[in-house]
Structure 1
Amino acid sequence: MSGATDSPVEDYGAESIKVLRGLDAVRKRPGMYIGDTEDGSGLHHMVYEVVDNAIDEALAGYCDLIEVVLNPDGSIRVSDNGRGVPTDIHEEEGVSAAEVIMTRLHSGGKFDHNSYKVSGGLHGVGVSVVNALSDWLEMTVWRDGKAHAIRFESGDATDPLAPVGDAEGRTGTEITFLPSPKVFSRLEFDYATLEHRLRELAFLNSGTRIRLTDARGVETESKEFHYQGGVAAFVGFLDRANAPLHTPPITMRGERDGVVVDLAMQWNESYHENVLCFTNNIFQRDGGTHLAALRAALTRTVNHYMASNGGARREKVAPSGDDVREGLTCVLSVKLGDPKFSSQTKDKLVSSEVRPAVEGEVGERLGAWFEEHPGEARRIVAKIVEAAAAREAARRARDLTRRKGALDVSNLPGKLADCQERDPAKAELFLVEGDSAGGSAKQGRDRRTQAVLPLRGKILNVERARIDKVLSSQEIGTLITALGAGVGREDFAIDKIRYRKVIIMTDADIDGAHIRTLLLTFFYRQMPEVIQAGYLYIAQPPLYKVKRGASEVYLKDDDELETYLIDTGLENAVLVLADGEGAERGGEDLRALVAQAQRVRALLTAVGRRYNQALVEQAAILGALNAELLAAGAAAGEVARYLARRMDGLSRPHERGWRGEPTDDGGLELARELRGVRERHTIDGVLVRSAEARRLDEIAGELQAVYEKRCRLRRKDTDIAINSPTALLESVLGLGRKGITMQRYKGLGEMNPEQLWETTLDPDARSLLQVKVGQGDEANSLFERLMGDEVQPRREFISGNALRVANLDISPAFLTMVTACVAPRRSIRQERTEKRIGNTVEARDAAGERLGATRRAALSGRQGASRRLPDAPHRAARRSYRRADHDHSEECGLARAAPWREGRKRNRATAAGGGGDGASAAGCCAWGRSRRRQLWSPWPRSRCGSRAICPIRAP
């Protein structure tokens, strides 16, 4: 140490100790207070902190309406009709109580039991943390007949709390805040995430109305959650995709030693447990003392009931706690004055006084319910006994397979290509679809660290199977053996897993997606610890290979493809502006314009199908999406007429005639009459006031400078007229497509080992998605609906979300493919008919005048029928061919009703005796006989042996 004279250790002294005062500690370490700031969970936790304060008012009996509004500018507003935050001066701090609450950590009205007997906010850091992590925050308080307002920026008050008017009989608090981009990587609130949490709160606080509104889009989306059934209605909602064993749910509510227990439970026919625990309306994802008490009381009560009724002796089984909870959906809510949690995120309850209250309430009420409902109790006990029997069967199957070595790690499955590495942290297992992809993966992998396990076909859907059936599946048994960690709650040990990266690698088609879903279902139900530990991944193989000259590039998805095409299209390209000076934009300036065009396209896509996107785009270029401008009557009329003139200028001569007028709601209407049909398009006030229109209006000046007059995109010999951002983008993409060869991969088997290594296996070049579970009950409900036995919930889910999917399986190309598969013979007929028509024309020319006028008329009729085939009904087409065939048979000298054999004999006799047109008949029938030895034809034989059309071929 003495020799290290320049060591930074010598600079460590009292001046190195930093004291973070006020809200600085929150800004320095936000994860300690709200969780992860990268994945969006911390962002939504800010909203929950504010909403929890409003819920506390509801718990105290002063609030019954809470509103949450997502504003177009990215901020969020939370309001309630409670008592309102105190506005008088705090004696110790010398500022208003509202400012103290927002700027001082560990300040609030929940540290004693006078203001709030039950509360979710306990540490006094909730709303102050929201203020610290926001760019700005505005609070309005209605209290004591006055409305007070205060604004904070970066956590500091810009001005003291001041009255801004009369409350007019209203009470409550409203907080609007904008999260800081310096803290959060993701700033967009997810409507579904907020909906999930607010629905929970509405269930847990029966009678409280919670309204969620999303005002960010063109159309405002609003939902109100108001439930009178409480936790029983919550259980019914969670169990909507399962068939219950009893209705209604078992409910119990009581208070013991200051702890209020509110519980509802229901058994169903599924095989999985779904128990949600809440403390003062806050969900504990890690459970705690209330969950442990519930499980203990359930097992004890059920076993006591079975013993007293002889069920256990009769069935000769001893149910475990897992058997009792199989198929159980339960919501447990406890409320107490001073709960203790493991952290500020409140994911686990550690209050010891909760356990005796929950155990006593559940044991007493559930035992009484069993006695009062013997029929339902027998069904529940039968399911529990069946679960215990299945568990015993699974245990025996495991023991048997262990003795045979099937589940022993030392006896790995034969098709597993294992790696050399024995350290699980460095080893990877790829689960691939089929032997074709498995072969390429085995040859292309790094044998030191990468193992490959091909799975044959589609594995068992474990959502519909018990553990004994799961273990009897050969593919699942192979997977369990390869992982080496066991299976089931009793035998699974995450520390014994042989690979810390389990990578699902399936094809980019429907079957591949199905296999991936089945594997995700297996891991979620049978090995959830693998997901929780972050060991499960999904490979992202490239979707495209683009070849340009001698270079090849692999592109992961459509976004990467577009980026590549833009980069290629911008090479040596310039945009010549029509500003009178011929100014050019190239290089980075042109790239910035294309990036702006991509943003414009995204905004126009968000506008939706209700509006003409080309018209909206031209209105944005003219600055006609300004709400203030359209609110003025004279100016709005001039804007509408100017937009109509611009649309005329961009239209072809016969498509002009646009007329523009303002609308009463502050929008525009353009109309024209085209080919006698009146065409009308509206940009209504809803669109003009939307977030998308505001963003387009913000860049209206930049758009006008480039696109108000028609400019030109030039590269070498290419010159393209440009009149809008999307036209620029599409033209650049078109230039990028020139000279390239693009291949879209459907399956991994299409790649050779070298390509698979370069794109998917190489750790330095590949892209992986890590599988995580967000809301546990939502994930559980999703698996039940999509993978369970009940068809109706799945049908409703598909129909309700079909329009939100960008790439539906039922696309025009897919419908074309289905049509071809359903009626392939029709296309074959058409193709062969056209071919024979050509042969007929050639034969007719070769035969010359021997056929005569009748022969030509027959052929003409047959050709007409052939040409009408695509549009004519199937039977009508066949009748037309038969009529043509009948005419031809008469020409050959056959009787109308003569069968084939008689006609052949008569034809031969006529040819030998010289009667009739012998050359014609002989040539025709000889051709008919030779056709029998050729390929099958879908059309019926003619009476002279030919197939529908029987041309006489030239010698």
Structure 2
Amino acid sequence: VRVHQKGNVHYQRYQRGVPEKPVEIIDSSEKTGTVVRFKPDAEIFEALDFSFDILSTRLRELAFLNKGIRIMITDTRMPTEKKHDFLFKGGVAEFVQYLNRTKTAIHNPPIYFEAERDEVIMEIALEYNDGYNENMFSFVNNINTREGGTHLVGFKSALTRTLNDFAKKSKFSKKMDENLTGDDVREGLTAVVSVKVPNPQFEGQTKGKLGNSEVKGIVESQVNESLNSFFEQNPKVVEAIVEKSLMASKARQAARRAREMTRRKSFLESTGLPGKLADCSERDPSKTEIYIVEGDSAGGSAKQGRNREFQAILALWGKMLNVEKARLDKVLSNDKLQPIISALGASAGVEFNPEKLRYHKIIIMADADVDGSHIRTLLLTFMYRYMTAAIEQGYVYIAMPPLYKMWAGKDIRYAFTDAERDATMAEMRQIHQNINIQRYKGLGEMNPDQLWETTMNPETRSLMRIQMQDAVEAEEIFSCLMGEHVAPRRQFIEENALMVENLDV
């Protein structure tokens, strides 16, 4: 550790947290600041490899949350040096614009305010876009509170009450059948709520939730005051937000009617739906799994090859809805998604309850080609938007069917990548002269026994668990790749094209 202070450089070296010798002055300096160099201990840390992308994402986040502070990251491990330089003078307002850059804002710039009350420092920014998803990120002392907390509750309460008050005074008041709900006023909202709290108390399983009860009232009072002041001075902005919220209210009421219709006519009793559920006999969710299979042929093979005791099969076909471009009422009434919602048994959207899931392994099984990748992406988008907790709690998986089958007589082997194929072929050539090879174009080409052995047997299969390490980055990627705007998608492809390992053209 080197500390530049009072004209000198103070130095001290530590080994496992213990100083090797007292602090010493090693040089003179006119700078101020601290330089820390460290090397991870292999006996303490399991993984010693640092991810440049993960670190960059976190440092970018810190630069947004601390406006005016410059943060640089350089990776010198590769022949070509990688470097990012982050400096955001706009703070969380610029953060919101960054998050919304793949969307169309209905007002610009973002609503922004900062204040201090009772030793709580608040910096808040919000901006509405023409989409249907709510994207809110909250922080306490630069820590991402993924589970929210009292600061977020205070913000939401003030926003809902303030917009209801303005709606009742607006030209749209006659269109209000009922009060706007929190979900109504947060449709299409991107917001960042950052607070600095002297003695934060964190709760929740991962300590990602602020528990200080006094913070709710402080934030709520400040947000109410600041929003009222802003809306009084910007009537056109509040009119646009209220109009969007009223449209969301109408859609919510339509979605409620769709849910009631679905409940009256349950999926398991209906006959005209495109996907049919072949359920398992086990009823303990922790022991069961459901394969969501694309295609009638593959669905038939999966039903024959599965273990009926704990494996359920839901076959789907036809064009899947891109939920990134659809409201909740359209999602709930969609004939491709209804079977999934009903089969999983935990509803969707704000009503989604992971405790009601009928299966604790939700496995998406699609062909290993472009069409299969598209189906997987659409299903993952749906689950990210409307069943987020299922991903967060580790219930969502991707099946990994093999790409190749190689055989010589009774010696049959499978490969999941081109590299694995080459290695397996080289190994088999040492034993056999004539080797047959088949590239699977789809799951339907496998018979039930092959599908079981390669893709469904817990003893031999490979599954990829879907994880969400960073909510901000996940939001950015889904909005970019599945949203309306082409330019950000093209930029993403250009920047990541050389990283593609499996290309099917």
Scaled to the shorter chain, the TM-score interval is over 0.9
* RMSD across aligned positions (CA): 2.1
Higher-helix-fraction structure: 1
After TM superposition, give the deviation of residue 157 of structure 1 in Å: 3.6
After TM superposition, give the deviation of residue 290 of structure 1 in Å: 0.4
After TM superposition, give the deviation of residue 773 of structure 1 in Å: 0.9
Q: Which amino acid aligns with 1:235?
A: V
User: Structure 1's 390 and 344: CA in aligned 2 closer, same or farther, altered over 3 A?
Assistant: closer
Q: Whole-Å Cα distance in 2 between the matches of residues 195 and 480 of structure 1?
A: 36
User: Structure 1's 395 and 541: CA in aligned 2 closer, same or farther, altered over 3 A?
Assistant: same
User: Structure 1's 411 and 181: CA in aligned 2 closer, same or farther, altered over 3 A?
Assistant: farther
Partner of 2:417: 557
Partner of 2:150: 289
Aligned mate of 1:479, from 332, 340, 352: 340
After TM superposition, give the deviation of residue 250 of structure 1 in Å: 0.5
Q: Whole-Å Cα distance in 1 between the matches of residues 108 and 261 of structure 2?
A: 40
Higher-strand-fraction structure: 2
Q: Whole-Å Cα distance in 2 between the matches of residues 775 and 451 of structure 1?
A: 31
Q: Which runs of 4+ in 1 moved over 6 A?
A: none
Partner of 1:681: none
After TM superposition, give the deviation of residue 411 of structure 1 in Å: 5.2
Does the 8 Å contact 2:408/2:432 carry over to 1? no
Mean CA deviation greater in 790-799 or 204-213: 790-799
For residue 425 of structure 1, give the secondary structure of its aligned residue in structure 2.
Answer: helix
User: Structure 1's 549 and 153: CA in aligned 2 closer, same or farther, altered over 3 A?
Assistant: farther
Partner of 1:527: 387
Aligned mate of 2:326, from 455, 461, 465: 465
Partner of 1:601: none
Partner of 1:247: 108
Partner of 1:897: none
1:150 aligns with 2:12: yes
After TM superposition, give the deviation of residue 392 of structure 1 in Å: 0.2
For residue 199 of structure 2, give the secondary structure of its aligned residue in structure 1.
Answer: coil
Cα displacement string for residues 902-942 of structure 1 (whole angstroms, at most 9, x for unaligned residues): xxxxxxxxxxxxxxxxxxxxxxxxxxxxxxxxxxxxxxxxx
Q: Whole-Å Cα distance in 2 between the matches of residues 279 and 477 of structure 1?
A: 38
After TM superposition, give the deviation of residue 565 of structure 1 in Å: 4.4
Q: Equivalent residues in 2 for 1:182-201 (5 A)?
A: 182-201=43-62
Aligned mate of 2:303, from 442, 452, 464: 442
Q: Whole-Å Cα distance in 2 between the matches of residues 393 and 551 of structure 1?
A: 58
Does the 8 Å contact 2:254/2:329 carry over to 1? yes
Cα displacement string for residues 803-844 of structure 1 (whole angstroms, at most 9, x for unaligned residues): 2323444xxxx4xxxxxxxxxxxxxxxxxxxxxxxxxxxxxx
User: Structure 1's 175 and 489: CA in aligned 2 closer, same or farther, altered over 3 A?
Assistant: same
Q: Equivalent residues in 2 for 1:393-792 (5 A)?
A: 393-403=254-264, 405-407=265-267, 415-490=276-351, 492-565=352-425, 567-568=427-428, 739-792=434-487
Larger radius of gyration: 1
1:162 aligns with 2:17: no
- Give the total of aligned pairs: 503
Does the 8 Å contact 2:289/2:361 carry over to 1? yes
Q: Whole-Å Cα distance in 2 between the matches of residues 215 and 343 of structure 1?
A: 38
Q: Whole-Å Cα distance in 2 between the matches of residues 196 and 335 of structure 1?
A: 21
1:388 aligns with 2:249: yes
1:803 aligns with 2:498: yes
Q: Whole-Å Cα distance in 2 between the matches of residues 746 and 228 of structure 1?
A: 52
For residue 286 of structure 2, give the secondary structure of its aligned residue in structure 1.
Answer: coil
Aligned mate of 1:302, from 163, 178, 188: 163
Q: Whole-Å Cα distance in 2 between the matches of residues 260 and 155 of structure 1?
A: 32
User: Structure 1's 554 and 156: CA in aligned 2 closer, same or farther, altered over 3 A?
Assistant: same
After TM superposition, give the deviation of residue 802 of structure 1 in Å: 1.6
For residue 55 of structure 2, give the secondary structure of its aligned residue in structure 1.
Answer: helix
Partner of 1:34: none
Q: Which amino acid aligns with 1:321?
A: G
Does the 8 Å contact 1:802/1:808 carry over to 2? no
Amino-acid identity (%): 49
Q: Whole-Å Cα distance in 2 between the matches of residues 368 and 297 of structure 1?
A: 13
Task: Name structure 2 gaps, 5 residues minimum.
Answer: none
User: Structure 1's 169 and 488: CA in aligned 2 closer, same or farther, altered over 3 A?
Assistant: closer
After TM superposition, give the deviation of residue 359 of structure 1 in Å: 0.6
User: Structure 1's 808 and 762: CA in aligned 2 closer, same or farther, altered over 3 A?
Assistant: closer
Q: Which amino acid aligns with 2:364?
A: I
Q: Whole-Å Cα distance in 2 between the matches of residues 154 and 561 of structure 1?
A: 45
Q: Whole-Å Cα distance in 2 between the matches of residues 161 and 741 of structure 1?
A: 70
Partner of 1:11: none
For residue 769 of structure 1, give the secondary structure of its aligned residue in structure 2.
Answer: strand
Partner of 2:87: 226
Q: Whole-Å Cα distance in 2 between the matches of residues 567 and 180 of structure 1?
A: 38
Q: TM-score with structure 2 length normalisation?
A: 0.94
Q: Which amino acid aligns with 1:465?
A: A
Q: Which amino acid aligns with 2:440?
A: Y
After TM superposition, give the deviation of residue 416 of structure 1 in Å: 1.5
After TM superposition, give the deviation of residue 159 of structure 1 in Å: 3.7
Cα displacement string for residues 52-102 of structure 1 (whole angstroms, at most 9, x for unaligned residues): xxxxxxxxxxxxxxxxxxxxxxxxxxxxxxxxxxxxxxxxxxxxxxxxxxx
After TM superposition, give the deviation of residue 343 of structure 1 in Å: 8.0
After TM superposition, give the deviation of residue 399 of structure 1 in Å: 1.4
Q: Whole-Å Cα distance in 1 between the matches of residues 242 and 31 of structure 2?
A: 54
